[in-house]
Structure 1
Amino acid sequence: MRVTQSASLTPPLDKQAAQIGEALVRLRQARQVKQSDAALRAGISRATAQRLEHGDPGVALGGILRYLDAIAPGVTLLKLLTGEDPSLVAMEHKLRSQRVRGLTAAELRELDF
């Protein structure tokens, strides 16, 4: 009988697996790497990459490390989890809300209908 890893994990451990997947997604997006390209570089299928990014605990640790290395060579798992990568910092800065400037009189007239 086959047992799925998520069924055998406690909820806190399942949440940790999901957090690792979310961190991989954020790093991949911050580095602007397509999921299919990262999977190809890591030597895994795209389906496995999707499972990794969804936090499937059944994926081997070696697959996680190869995927991480394919996205950001030299970045350790510890740096991934602490969010120390410069691309993550840059992406967070870019996504922060910015002050909204007021519209000019010409822009207001253009919107008035």
Structure 2
Amino acid sequence: MKRDESPLLTPQRLAEAREMGEKLNRLRIARRLRQADVARRAGMSRSTAILIEHGDIGRTVAQILRYLDAIAPGLPLIALMQESDPSLLALKTREATQRVRALGEKERKDLDF
């Protein structure tokens, strides 16, 4: 029988669990992997992968580490939390909004053939 561990944890710890799940989700997306494929590699069901990515505190550390290893073999957990993986940095760059400004008069003349 499963126990609900959330009443035993502080709000800060619950937030940390959610943050870890979000970072695993972002890493999977950054590496362009499907959730079902990663779950299969980790030897778990897709529903367990969904729970991990939502930061469910009922998941074991072993499940989380297997899931991380299925996404990025050899990547340390600390690198995930610090978001120092190159694929995460590339995702952040792709997501960043870029300012678009109107061309000035001189720039328009330079482009005019």
TM-score, normalisation: structure 1: 0.85
The Cα offsets for residues 26-82 of structure 1, whole Å up to 9 and x where unpaired, read as 100000011000000000111110100000011000000000010111111000000
Count of matched residue pairs: 103
Structure 1 stretches of at least 4 aligned residues deviating more than 6 Å after TM superposition: none
Contact 1:6 1:56 in 2 (8 A): no
5+ unaligned residues in a row in structure 2: which ranges?
104-113
Q: How does 1:1-113 map to 2 (within 5 A)?
A: 2-102=2-102
Counterpart CA distance in 2 for 1:47 and 1:53 is 10
5+ unaligned residues in a row in structure 1: which ranges?
104-113
Change (3 A) 1:24 1:3: same
Q: CA RMSD in A?
A: 1.5
Counterpart CA distance in 2 for 1:4 and 1:65 is 21
TM-score, normalisation: structure 2: 0.85
Identity of aligned residues (%): 50
